[in-house]
């Protein structure tokens, strides 16, 4: 079975949503809150350790009903079932999309080409567990008999961003191993990492699903050359392990077949941290914490798969996002975690969201006639308040924003946490209500500002408010809640891709730049500029003359 192929703009719900938008576009949320005091009660979802309040959106019950009708008209439920049951929903690559199977319990059955994949998943999980335990305990040693102190993850895109984000997010749970990430083909990046390392005590984890990615292979070769300045060829086997689907290429690189952690083509790179791609996570925080991360994701999978759309967190959030993207014309969304630990969440989700849904051809092979994709960006609060919040509050663009906060801090420093969270609540309230002329005038009176000065300042001090936000109040940042949070956004991506009638699991757009870079590299090596547009020729000639 293939995914449904329905242009969302041809549905009845879309037409009604257009009419509904015309009624709601000038409605003020502040007024809606004043009229209906049970708004927060109605528009929130409590699930496990998550409280998701979506009442501060420009919606009413009818909006939600129409958006859910849209989801029903495009057959979202059957698409969810197709995905979880291992159908080849990545149709342009003819593959299943089964990152969810990686976090399923051992007794589950997920069939790929008639074969249950759970036994092989658990075989690899056991290998990750055994390997992590040996490295962490010091039982596994380097070429001079010393225990490992440092781990370097060499990968890019999905083979870097997920592990890097989670290791950073879970550093409270970390052991003694120092974990580094090398991704950019920029030689200065790898050199800055190498200078911190001792080859005798460093383990290198090369992560590349294809094992053909230029950046990862170049960095791996540079690191191996550096390593061989102090060690012998046979020592490579002790210090280099790989995660890949391409066993032949990994073996050709010189990695011992016992040190290969397999993955599968039904796991997309940007959804792969749950596989052996997460090896550096397991090394950093121990296998049990890695497993808890997977359990948290699995709980979100069950919630997504089995909960009615009205109470289904990823579905509700995806629909709200469609509401702003396709009806209000919002161009981007911000994601503001109120914890420094999640500083890499936005860059991580940029790949997940923008590589998946940055598509302009529908599942019918024709250009879409509506907006798809979401530009996602963000930084932790409160830092971001002092950086770009001005534009969210008083700029000309509508930027729906997710606020992610935690009830409990990890070190128990209540004074800091109360201050942090007071900002968290204050921002969503300010974005909702803004500040009226009357309030500004009252402030002026208290400050003895009057006359021309007051008249001049007044328009600049008024905030229109009516800026939509979702608030996630989560009990505590743990491996499990983090797993649920990441899975939540993964499912939001899926729902939006289904509604936009696009294929979310390929990434052909990344290929063109790669192809051109390879042919330009040949020109750079040959010191000969071939035919390009005049700008590219001019720039290349300047580079070759001066390099």
Cβ–Cβ under 8 Å, residues 503 and 91: yes
Please state, as a whole number, how many other Cβ atoms lie within 10 Å of the Cβ of residue 25. Answer: 10
E runs forming strands in 211-358: 240-244, 260-262, 332-337
Pick from 506, 494, 372: which is nearest to 83 by CA?
Answer: 494
| Helices and strands, counts by H and E, the chain | 23, 13
Nearest-CA neighbor of 200 among 143, 136, 283, 139?
A: 143
Measured between alpha carbons, how far is 512 from 357 in angstroms, rounded to an integer? Answer: 18
- Among 478, 444, 439, 479, smallest CA distance to 462 is for 439
Binding flag, residue 391, ligand F6P (CB under 6 A): no
Residue 270: closest CA among 160, 166, 359:
160
Report if residue 157 touches ligand F6P, rule: CB under 6 A: yes
Q: Does 57 bind ligand F6P (CB under 6 A)?
A: no
Active site residues: 355, 386, 514
In order of 49, 280, 385, 409, 413, the CA distances from 420 in angstroms are: 20, 30, 11, 10, 11
The least CB distance from residue 86 to ligand F6P, in Å, is: 21
* Least Cβ distance, residue 507 to ligand F6P (angstroms): 5
Write each residue from 192 to 221 as x if it is in contact with ligand F6P (CB under 6 A), else as -, in one continuous string: ----------------xxx--x--x-----
- Piece in contact with ligand F6P (CB under 6 A), picked from 10-18, 156-164, 443-451, 484-492: 156-164
Per-residue binding string, ligand F6P, 484-513, x by CB under 6 A, is: -----------------------x--x---
- Number of Cβ atoms within 10 Å of the Cβ of 500: 25
**x-or-dash string of contact with ligand F6P, 238-277, rule CB under 6 A:** -------------------------------xx-------
Query: Total number of residues binding ligand F6P (CB under 6 A)?
Result: 14
- Tokens describing residue 403: 């606020």
Let me know: does 235 contact 186? Beta carbons within 8 Å: no
Burial group, residue 463, by CB count within 10 angstroms (0-12, 13-18, 19+): middle
- Name the residue whose CB lies closest to ligand F6P: 269
Decide whether 158 or 497 has the Cβ nearer to ligand F6P. 158
Residue closer to ligand F6P by CB (options 136, 243) is 243
Question: Which residue carries 């580094």 as its tokens?
Answer: 180
Taking the complex as a whole, the smallest distance from the CB of residue 277 to ligand F6P amounts, in Å, to 8
* Longest Cα separation, the chain: 83
Q: Closest approach of Cβ 211 to ligand F6P, in Å?
A: 7
- Report DSSP letters for 523-540, one per residue: HHHHT---S--HHHHHHH
CB closer to ligand F6P out of 213 and 466: 213
Q: Does 517 bind ligand F6P (CB under 6 A)?
A: no
Sign (positive/negative) of CA torsion 500, 504, 507, 508? negative
Q: How far is the CB of 151 from ligand F6P (least distance, A)?
A: 18
- 158 is a site residue for ligand F6P (CB under 6 A): yes
- For ligand F6P, the closer of residues 269 and 405 by Cβ is 269
| Nearest alpha carbon to residue 240 among 212, 203, 214 | 203
- Helix, strand, coil percent content, the chain, rounded in steps of 5: 55, 10, 35
Nearer to ligand F6P, 216 or 504 (CB): 216
Query: Which tokens in the block code for residue 114?
Result: 């008639």
Q: Which is nearer to ligand F6P, 259 or 469 (CB)?
A: 259
Q: Interface with ligand F6P includes 132 (CB under 6 A)?
A: no
State the nearest-atom distance from the C-beta of 417 to ligand F6P, in Å: 35
Q: Please, what is the minimum distance in Å from the beta carbon of residue 265 to ligand F6P? A: 11
x-marked contacts with ligand F6P along 326-365 as a string, rule CB under 6 A: -----------------------------x----------
Q: How far apart are CA 509 and CA 183, in angstroms?
A: 20
* Shortest distance in whole angstroms from residue 168 CB to ligand F6P: 18
Vertex 27: Cα angle to 312 and 425 (nearest 5): 60
- For position 156 contacting ligand F6P by CB under 6 A, the verdict is yes
Q: What does the alpha-carbon distance between residue 458 and residue 415 come to, in Å, rounded to a whole number?
A: 35
Nearest of 68, 483, 473 to residue 491 by alpha carbon: 483
With CA atoms as reference, report the closest residue to 164 among 270, 8, 267, 255: 270
Stretch that binds ligand F6P, among 63-71, 154-162, 321-329, 414-422 (CB under 6 A): 154-162
Nearer to ligand F6P, 213 or 501 (CB): 213
By C-beta, is 319 or 502 nearer to ligand F6P?
502
Considering only residues 63, 90, 100, 159, which one is a binding residue for ligand F6P as defined by CB under 6 A? 159
Question: Could you tell me the smallest distance in angstroms from the CB atom of residue 457 to ligand F6P?
Answer: 49
Pick the closer one to ligand F6P by CB: 292 or 355. 355
Residues at the contact surface with ligand F6P, assessed by CB under 6 A: 156-159, 208-210, 213, 216, 269-270, 355, 507, 510
């Amino acid at each position: 079975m293939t995914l449904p192929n329905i242009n969302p703009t041809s549905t009845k719900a879309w037409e009604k949503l257009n009419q509904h938008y015309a009624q709601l576009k000038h409605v003020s949320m502040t007024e809606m809150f004043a009229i209906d005091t049970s708004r927060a009660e109605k528009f929130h979802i409590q699930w496990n350790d998550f409280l998701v309040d979506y009442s501060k959106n420009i919606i009413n019950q009818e909006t939600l009903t129409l958006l859910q009708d849209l989801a029903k008209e495009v057959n979202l439920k059957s698409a969810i079932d197709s995905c979880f049951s291992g159908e080849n929903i990545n149709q342009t690559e003819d593959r299943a999309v089964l990152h969810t199977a990686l976090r399923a319990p051992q007794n589950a059955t997920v069939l790929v080409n008639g074969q249950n994949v759970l036994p092989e998943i658990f075989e690899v999980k056991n290998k990750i567990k055994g390997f992590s335990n040996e490295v962490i305990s010091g039982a596994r040693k380097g070429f001079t008999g010393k225990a490992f102190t440092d781990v370097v993850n060499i990968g890019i895109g999905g083979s870097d961003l997920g592990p890097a984000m989670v290791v950073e997010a879970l550093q409270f749970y970390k052991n003694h191993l120092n974990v580094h990430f090398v991704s950019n083909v920029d030689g200065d990046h790898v050199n800055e990492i190498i200078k911190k390392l001792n080859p005798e005590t460093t383990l290198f984890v090369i992560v590349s699903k294809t094992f053909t990615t230029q950046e990862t292979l170049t960095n791996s070769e540079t690191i191996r050359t550096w390593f061989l300045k102090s060690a012998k060829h046979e020592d490579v086997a002790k210090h280099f392990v790989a995660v890949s689907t391409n066993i032949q290429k990994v073996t050709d690189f010189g990695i011992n077949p016992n040190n290969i952690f397999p993955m599968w083509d039904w796991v997309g790179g940007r959804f792969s941290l749950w596989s052996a791609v997460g090896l550096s996570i397991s090394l950093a925080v121990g296998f049990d914490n890695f497993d808890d991360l997977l359990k948290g994701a699995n709980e979100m999978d069950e919630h997504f798969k089995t909960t009615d759309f009205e109470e289904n967190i990823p579905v509700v959030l995806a629909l709200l996002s469609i509401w702003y993207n396709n009806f209000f014309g919002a161009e981007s969304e911000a994601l503001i975690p109120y914890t420094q630990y999640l500083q890499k969440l936005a860059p991580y989700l940029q790949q997940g969201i923008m590589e998946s849904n940055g598509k302009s051809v529908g599942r019918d092979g024709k250009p879409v006639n509506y907006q798809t994709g979401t530009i996602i960006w963000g930084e932790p609060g409160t830092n971001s308040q002092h950086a770009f919040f001005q534009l969210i509050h008083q700029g000309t663009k509508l930027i729906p924003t997710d606020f992610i906060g935690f009830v409990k801090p990890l070190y128990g420093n209540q004074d800091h946490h109360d201050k942090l969270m007071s900002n968290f609540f204050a921002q969503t309230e300010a974005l909702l209500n803004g500040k009226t002329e009357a309030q500004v005038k009252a402030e002026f009176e208290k400050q003895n500002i009057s006359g021309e000065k007051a008249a001049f300042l007044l328009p600049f001090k008024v905030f229109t408010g009516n800026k939509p936000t979702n608030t996630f109040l989560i009990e505590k940042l743990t491996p499990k809640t983090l797993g649920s949070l990441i899975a939540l956004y993964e499912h939001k991506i899926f729902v939006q891709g289904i509604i936009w009638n696009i294929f979310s699991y390929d990434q052909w757009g990344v290929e063109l730049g790669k192809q051109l870079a390879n042919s330009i590299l040949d020109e750079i090596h040959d010191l000969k500029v071939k035919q390009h547009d005049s700008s590219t020729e001019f720039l290349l000639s300047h580079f070759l003359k001066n390099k």
